[in-house]
Amino acid sequence: AQKITQTQPGMFVQEKEAVTLDCTYDTSDQSYGLFWYKQPSSGEMIFLIYQGSYDEQNATEGRYSLNFQKARKSANLVISASQLGDSAMYFCAMREVSNYQLIWGAGTKLIIKP
Amino acid sequence: DTAVSQTPKYLVTQMGNDKSIKCEQNLGHDTMYWYKQDSKKFLKIMFSYNNKELIINETVPNRFSPKSPDKAHLNLHINSLELGDSAVYFCASSQERTSRPTNEKLFFGSGTQLSVL
């Protein structure tokens, strides 16, 4: 079974609109962490945001926020006021305290239209 | 000042050749990784070293051999290159403490695009 599922292989969004990238996960651990990384066309992997399973507040980093719904096991990335530079692949990943390796989703390709 | 640096950025070579990719991190991290990203962008872990010791060795052909001379370096040597080895290879590092906090993020190098002709 997939531990991290990103159901949107690709998305087109108009510039300045908000974007939600979906991520659902599967774990039986109580303690785990969820990460989002961005990979622009230049290829580097850029850390965006982290959410811990015990964090009561949704994580936010500038225009990025994480919509964490623990009961539904979802950790969607929300980008507010999208910009052309947000066009990239976005990866969701999870670290369980039991396994400890980072487990990656297949990624979502986001294209922002002018 | 680059935290995780890998060289070369591009590597074009013929089938059957042997090649190496070098990786160095100056973050003082204990753990380093090699990942392979295929043409569909899927990231697959290949190896992980902690303090020069191999701790993860996924199902990877034994033509791939990682070498960690010290905890700041993890090189990847590939023998007898095949067409299917064409991919982007990423080096990464993290500080994986014994308390195993879940918020340890990976720091990535910029990737090496390997093309086998």
Q: Is the dihedral of CA B104, B109, A81, A13 positive or negative?
A: negative
Cα–Cα nearest to B109, from B1, B24, B12:
B24
Identity of residue B83 = L
Amino acid at position B26, single letter: N
Q: Which of A35, A45, A101 sits opposite B45 (nearest CB)?
A: A101
Does residue B38 sit at the A interface (CB-CB below 8 Å)? no
Closest CB to A33 among B43, B56, B103 = B103
| C-alpha radius of gyration, chain B, whole number | 14
Specify the residue for token string 């290829």: A43
Residue carrying structure tokens 């060795």: B57
Give the N- to C-terminal CA distance of chain A in Å, as an integer. Answer: 38
pLDDT in tens, A29-86: 999 999 999 999 999 999 999 999 999 899 999 999 999 999 999 999 999 999 999 9
pLDDT tens for residues B30-63?
899 999 999 999 999 999 988 888 887 788 899 9
Q: How confident is the model at residue B98 (pLDDT cuts 50, 70, 90)?
A: low
> At B85, is the secondary structure helix, strand, or coil?
helix
